[in-house]
Structure 1
Amino acid sequence: MASVNRFIQFNNETIDTKLLHQMEMLAGALADAPYLKVTTRKLLEFRPSESALSISVFWRHRPKQIERNGYLSDIYLLAAGYWRHFNLGIWRRFLKEESELPHLRQQLLLCAEEFRLIEQISQERPGTREAFAIREGVYIDYHKGHYRQNMQKGFKAEAFLNAAFLALRGQSAEMEESFSELFFLWSRMFDAKSTADSCAVVDSLMGRLEYWILQDMVLSYYTFGDSIDEVPPFRYYEGMETEASKEGKNIDTIEEWFQTWHRETENETSPAMEFELDKGDSKPTDGGREDEGSGEPEQTAQGNSAGEHLKGNDDNDRKMEDQPKKAAGKFGAANEAVEYTEKRIELSGDHRQSIEAWRRKQAPYVRALLKELKKRMTQRRQEARGNLNAGRLSKNLLPLVIEERPKPFYRKSAPSKELDAVFCLLIDGSASMVDKLEETRQAVLLFHDVLRNLNVPHEIVLFYEDAYEASEASQPNYFEWMHKFEDGSRDHAPEIFSLEAHEDNRDGFAIRWMTDRLQQRSEKHRFLLVFSDGEPSAYDYAENGVVDTANAVLEAKKSAIEVLHLFLSSEPISEEQASFYQMMYGNKSVSADSLEQFVEQTLRLLKRTLHLVIQSG
């Protein structure tokens, strides 16, 4: 797991996940494409293969107002401008035409289109003008500085682009007289209405530029992103209409380009499944069932009315192990290549003495908490109260006649019932947990004992990724149950003391996986606790892992699931670390400043959540 305190401080970048999520929601609304994701890169980019728009890190480390408006202007430009008003057909033909300065030619066109689209968006959406005004002010200073630097270094192509940007904003640059004449042609951009008009203006400049400038641009001020020729390959299956293969050849807007990728990614397996269903039959095969309904059940389960999970269920769980499932985008785009295995944790050694010792030590805390909770539950079940100003009308209406201020109402006693709540505990199983295992086991044991005594259904799961087997095509993840919902109040202390550290942690995926399980529960109060000791770290899960985890927490909250986070640390937490985890988990992130505080903080989390359940019960 990567630490928040990186060795090189100036490279210790953190992402404002809430701001990025807001930008993502805005982009989806402007483009009418809820599947869009927003990422950060050096320059603005289109990445349809990832269903993503990339805003520029150019705005980082600036005052908050400038940073926010800078990102907003990027989103306006991408999702309300380029999305529908940039002609890909013309761009494709533009790229195919030969030039002695191809890079400068492309940069000039993107510079021209940015200017045209900003003007168009500002007229159509007056509310965007403030963000664009701030954007233009910052970029004017930026290009003025780069113009002077490029002229000193002899980078004439780069200097001309800087001057061209400034000329469209009414700013002058001291160019050679031969270049200054070109700005008369460049000023035709004020009348441009389409991508074709912008291309015509740029091409009118290129003849003289190719004569005066001998070296093409080296630096890039604009980029487009994925190649327009990168369209998803059509998958043909036997039995499908041949006309379907012609789909997607004429793509004229970025919106259509993204939709083509999105449809293909979303439905890449459905044609094969439909073909298999259409072509299947019920003929008997060797080792198969002869007639529908005649087959014998392959697995059985045992249980009783008390909900105890008996040994037969453990055996069945283990039979179903080693059957990895594919995430396939179900748990977030950042986890599309994940393959996950769900299984019971393997018991390791005899931990009876350790368990008994820690239960004796924790017994006073458990008894005190249970006593306090049961007292609060009893207070909620009060006897019937009469002589009230409001409530149910009493049968004795005599006070209405004989009393000046009658109180003929009463309230019934609150019904006695169990706590209507369910808890899940996700435990980070990454390698960095190795020095915190003993304290983590003790905290989890406390969690388990309190909820067992209250008969509250709960699950305890260790999650991790196999870093050695992970690749771009597949990232194996594992969920190891120490206790399941079906186990009721069964004691799983030996399983808890069998948890071990492994390699990486894919937090956002684990939260979505557990959220999916909690959504199937009917309890009124649903809590998801996450024990971890650092930021998400897995294959291709660095910066996007933070965003993915923050989004997973937001999605859980939308499903009425309360996500709580306990940061396990062996030393006092820094302000940077605290703000980092609050960025992912909001104000529901707490920390243990030392190993000795793990159990104490776990007790606090349980007390806080259980009090909430009782008060709202």
Structure 2
Amino acid sequence: MASVNRFIQFNNETVDTQLLQRMELLAGALAEAPYLKVTTRKLMEFRPSESTISMSVFWKHRPETVERNGYLSDIYLMSGGFWRYFNLHEWRSFKRIDTHLPLLLEQLLLCAEEFRLSEQIIKERPGTKRAFEIRETVYTEYHTKQLEQNSQKGFSADAFLNAAYLRLRGRQDAGLEEWEPLFQIWTHVFDARTTADSADVIARMVGRLEFLFEKDTVQSYYTFGESPDKVPPFHYHEGVETENSDDEEKIETLEEWFHTWHREMEMEEAAALEFELEQGQSGMAEGGREEQGAEDVQQTAQGEGRGEHLADNEAADEHSDQAPKKAGSKYGAANDHVEYHESRIRVVKGHKTEIDAARSRHTPYVKALLKELRKRIDSRQSDARRNLNAGRLSKQLVPLAIEERPKPFYRKSAPSRELDAVFCLLIDGSASMIDKLDETRQAVLLFHDVLRGLNVPHEIVLFYEDAYEASESRQPNYFEWMHKFEDGTKDHAQEIWSMEDHEDNRDGFAIRWMKDRLRSRTEQHRFLLVFSDGEPSAYNYAENGVIDTAKAVEETKKQGIEVLHLFLSSEKITEEQAAFYRMMYGNKSVSANSLDQFVDQTLRLLKRTLHLVLQGG
């Protein structure tokens, strides 16, 4: 797990997940493509194979107003302009021009199209004008500086591109006098109405450009992203009949291009599922159809013992993970190649002394909390609501004679023998937890004892990723139960003391996994608690891991599940760290300023959530 405090300050970047989510909603609405995802890269670009458009990090580290409007202008251009009004057929034809300046020509066309589409978007949506004005002001200043620097360095093609941008923004003094014949042609961009018009203008400039510039551009100011010739692969599955026409329809717009990729990916997943359902695979998933002949009764043997207190179903759980399960798109795009294993944690005996010591320390607090909560529960059961228009008739009938509108009825509160709530605790099992395991075990044991005392169903799970086995195509993750819903009030202190540190943590995936388990619960109040000591860190899960976790939290909340986060640190929490976790978990992220406070914070968190349950009924 990587720490929030990285070793070099200038590289201490954080991702504003809330901003990205807002931009993603805006892009999906403008493009009428709810599947569209938004991320940040060096330049704006399109990646249909990932259903992603990228905003430019050019806007980072600028005043808040500039940054926000800069990102907005990127989204307006990509999802409101290029999405429908940029012609891919013309772009493909343009890229076939035989020249030693391909990068310059492509960037000139994208520059011209940005200008044309900006004007078109402002006419269609006047509310976007402010964002584009700020964009033009910032980029004009930027290209002015770049023009000076590139001229001094001898990067003539780059300098011409800077001057071309400035000419479209009214800077007639930009550029050398020998470039004036080119700029006379370039000004026809003002009259362009289509991508073909813009391409024609630049095509007329090719001969003179090749005469003036021996070398292509060095820097990139514009990029398109994936090649428009890249089409989705078609995957055949045995038993699935498909029709594949050799005369594929020509894709003219980005909207069609993205939709083709998205549709093909959906068809691929559906076909794969159909194949699995029709053919069947032994051990494919729980409840899956066995292979032919597998219906014969097989003799099985139980593995090594795990303690006399375990029930038969628990022993079976430990060995139920013979075949890993595939995550797929169900758990977010960042987790497509995850395969996960579920099992009971392997018990390591010999911790009775530590467990007894921990319980002796927190037992007074547990008893006090249980006494307080039971008192409130009993009070709710006995309280009666009086002065009602309907219900049971009260023995106090005097109001019938003296009041104009008497209310002589009452109702007893519905008895409730237990709290209508369920809790799940996810524990970060990454390597950085090694120096915090003792405090974590004590806090988890406190959590376990309080909920057992109240007969509240709960689960406790350690999650981690195997960093040594992870690769581009396969990222193995593990969930190890210390306590399951069906275990009731069984004491699993030994399991809790058996948790160990491992390698990495894929938080967004773990939250979605637990969300699926909580969704089927019928309790009115559902809580998911996450104990961690840092940011998400796994294979290909750096910046996108932060975004993925924030999205997972938001998706879980929409299911009516409350997500709470407790950040464990051995040092005082900085404001930067606190803001970072609020960005992922909202205002439901709390922190322990020291290891000694971790158990106290866990107790406070439990008290607060249980009081909410009692208030909500």
Q: Scaled by the length of structure 1, what TM-score is found?
A: 0.93
**For residues 515 and 272 of structure 1, what CA distance do their matches in structure 2 show?**
25
**For residues 291 and 559 of structure 2, what CA distance do their matches in structure 1 show?**
45
Q: Is the 8 A contact 1:396 1:408 kept in 2?
A: no
Q: Equivalent residue for 2:583?
A: 583
Q: Helix, strand or coil for the counterpart of 1:478?
A: strand
Q: Equivalent residue for 1:552?
A: 552
Q: Sort the Cα spacing of 1:213 and 1:376 in 2 relative to 1 into closer, same or farther, 3 A.
A: same
Q: Is the 8 A contact 2:103 2:217 kept in 1?
A: yes
Q: Equivalent residue for 2:304?
A: none
- In structure 1, give the amino acid aligned to 2:431: A
Q: Sort the Cα spacing of 1:271 and 1:285 in 2 relative to 1 into closer, same or farther, 3 A.
A: closer
**For residues 449 and 87 of structure 1, what CA distance do their matches in structure 2 show?**
64
**For residues 238 and 325 of structure 1, what CA distance do their matches in structure 2 show?**
21
Q: Sort the Cα spacing of 1:198 and 1:566 in 2 relative to 1 into closer, same or farther, 3 A.
A: same
- In structure 2, give the amino acid aligned to 1:287: G
Q: Is the 8 A contact 2:466 2:503 kept in 1?
A: yes
Cα deviation per residue 1:480-517 (whole Å; 9 max; x = unaligned)?
A: 00000111111100000000000000000000110111
Q: Equivalent residue for 2:469?
A: 469
Q: Is the 8 A contact 2:465 2:478 kept in 1?
A: yes
Q: Sort the Cα spacing of 1:113 and 1:440 in 2 relative to 1 into closer, same or farther, 3 A.
A: same
- 1:11 Cα deviation from its structure 2 partner: 0.8
- In structure 1, give the amino acid aligned to 2:59: W
- 1:205 Cα deviation from its structure 2 partner: 1.3
Q: Sort the Cα spacing of 1:383 and 1:43 in 2 relative to 1 into closer, same or farther, 3 A.
A: closer
Cα deviation per residue 1:280-301 (whole Å; 9 max; x = unaligned)?
A: 9xxx987344xxxxx669999x
- 1:547 Cα deviation from its structure 2 partner: 0.4
Q: Sort the Cα spacing of 1:183 and 1:402 in 2 relative to 1 into closer, same or farther, 3 A.
A: same
- 1:276 Cα deviation from its structure 2 partner: 6.7
Q: Is 2:108 the counterpart of 1:108?
A: yes
**For residues 509 and 291 of structure 2, what CA distance do their matches in structure 1 show?**
39
- 1:382 Cα deviation from its structure 2 partner: 3.2
Q: Equivalent residue for 2:167?
A: 167
Q: Equivalent residue for 1:409?
A: 408
Q: Equivalent residue for 1:287?
A: 293
Q: Equivalent residue for 1:498?
A: 498
Q: Is the 8 A contact 1:399 1:408 kept in 2?
A: no
Q: Sort the Cα spacing of 1:214 and 1:592 in 2 relative to 1 into closer, same or farther, 3 A.
A: same
Q: Equivalent residue for 1:489?
A: 489
Q: Is 2:374 the counterpart of 1:374?
A: yes
- Which piece of structure 1 moves more, 82-91 or 525-534? 82-91
The 5-angstrom pairing of residues 14-25 of structure 1 reads 14-25=14-25
Q: Helix, strand or coil for the counterpart of 1:323?
A: coil
Q: Equivalent residue for 1:157?
A: 157
- Which piece of structure 1 moves more, 86-95 or 573-582? 86-95
- 1:97 Cα deviation from its structure 2 partner: 1.6
- 1:239 Cα deviation from its structure 2 partner: 6.0
- In structure 2, give the amino acid aligned to 1:435: D
The 5-angstrom pairing of residues 119-158 of structure 1 reads 119-158=119-158
Q: CA RMSD in A?
A: 2.3
Cα deviation per residue 1:126-164 (whole Å; 9 max; x = unaligned)?
A: 111111111111111111111111111121111111111
**For residues 365 and 163 of structure 1, what CA distance do their matches in structure 2 show?**
72
Q: Number of paired residues?
A: 601
Q: Helix, strand or coil for the counterpart of 1:349?
A: coil
Cα deviation per residue 1:49-75 (whole Å; 9 max; x = unaligned)?
A: 211111000111111111111111101
**For residues 14 and 336 of structure 2, what CA distance do their matches in structure 1 show?**
24
Q: Is 2:104 the counterpart of 1:98?
A: no
**For residues 441 and 562 of structure 2, what CA distance do their matches in structure 1 show?**
23
- 1:172 Cα deviation from its structure 2 partner: 2.4
- 1:119 Cα deviation from its structure 2 partner: 1.0
Q: Sort the Cα spacing of 1:238 and 1:430 in 2 relative to 1 into closer, same or farther, 3 A.
A: closer
Q: Is the 8 A contact 2:425 2:460 kept in 1?
A: yes
**For residues 612 and 276 of structure 2, what CA distance do their matches in structure 1 show?**
51
Q: Helix, strand or coil for the counterpart of 2:597?
A: helix
- 1:591 Cα deviation from its structure 2 partner: 0.5
The 5-angstrom pairing of residues 186-585 of structure 1 reads 186-237=186-237, 243-246=243-246, 248=248, 250-274=250-274, 287-289=293-295, 311-384=311-384, 386=386, 388=387, 392=391, 394=393, 399=398, 402-404=401-403, 407-417=406-416, 418-585=418-585
Cα deviation per residue 1:526-585 (whole Å; 9 max; x = unaligned)?
A: 000000000000000000000000010100111111000000000110011010000001
Q: Is the 8 A contact 1:384 1:410 kept in 2?
A: no
- Which piece of structure 1 moves more, 133-142 or 335-344? 133-142
Q: Sort the Cα spacing of 1:286 and 1:75 in 2 relative to 1 into closer, same or farther, 3 A.
A: closer
Q: Helix, strand or coil for the counterpart of 1:82?
A: helix
Q: Is the 8 A contact 1:237 1:271 kept in 2?
A: yes
Q: Sort the Cα spacing of 1:570 and 1:288 in 2 relative to 1 into closer, same or farther, 3 A.
A: closer
- 1:390 Cα deviation from its structure 2 partner: 6.2
Q: Is 2:605 the counterpart of 1:605?
A: yes
Q: Sort the Cα spacing of 1:375 and 1:170 in 2 relative to 1 into closer, same or farther, 3 A.
A: same
**For residues 448 and 104 of structure 1, what CA distance do their matches in structure 2 show?**
64
- Which piece of structure 1 moves more, 50-59 or 408-417? 408-417
- Which piece of structure 1 moves more, 423-432 or 248-257? 248-257
Identical columns (%): 64
Q: Which runs of 5+ in 2 are unaligned?
A: 281-289, 302-308
- 1:44 Cα deviation from its structure 2 partner: 0.3
- In structure 2, give the amino acid aligned to 1:509: F
Q: Sort the Cα spacing of 1:99 and 1:419 in 2 relative to 1 into closer, same or farther, 3 A.
A: same
**For residues 269 and 389 of structure 1, what CA distance do their matches in structure 2 show?**
58
Cα deviation per residue 1:319-356 (whole Å; 9 max; x = unaligned)?
A: 31232100011110000000000000001131112111
Cα deviation per residue 1:257-295 (whole Å; 9 max; x = unaligned)?
A: 112222232332433554576689xxx987344xxxxx6
- 1:175 Cα deviation from its structure 2 partner: 2.3
Q: Is the 8 A contact 1:482 1:492 kept in 2?
A: yes
Q: Sort the Cα spacing of 1:84 and 1:549 in 2 relative to 1 into closer, same or farther, 3 A.
A: same
Q: Which runs of 5+ in 1 are unaligned?
A: 290-294, 301-308
**For residues 272 and 247 of structure 1, what CA distance do their matches in structure 2 show?**
25
- In structure 2, give the amino acid aligned to 1:576: E
The 5-angstrom pairing of residues 21-60 of structure 1 reads 21-60=21-60
Q: Sort the Cα spacing of 1:460 and 1:177 in 2 relative to 1 into closer, same or farther, 3 A.
A: same
**For residues 274 and 286 of structure 1, what CA distance do their matches in structure 2 show?**
18
Q: Sort the Cα spacing of 1:590 and 1:397 in 2 relative to 1 into closer, same or farther, 3 A.
A: closer
**For residues 171 and 42 of structure 1, what CA distance do their matches in structure 2 show?**
26
Q: Equivalent residue for 1:303?
A: none
- In structure 1, give the amino acid aligned to 2:68: R
Cα deviation per residue 1:361-418 (whole Å; 9 max; x = unaligned)?
A: 11100001001111221222234354x3766484779645631566433432212211
Q: Is the 8 A contact 1:383 1:412 kept in 2?
A: no
**For residues 97 and 56 of structure 1, what CA distance do their matches in structure 2 show?**
28
**For residues 242 and 510 of structure 1, what CA distance do their matches in structure 2 show?**
36
Q: Helix, strand or coil for the counterpart of 2:482?
A: strand
Q: Helix, strand or coil for the counterpart of 2:562?
A: strand
**For residues 435 and 319 of structure 1, what CA distance do their matches in structure 2 show?**
30
Q: Is the 8 A contact 1:425 1:529 kept in 2?
A: yes
Q: Is the 8 A contact 2:385 2:413 kept in 1?
A: no
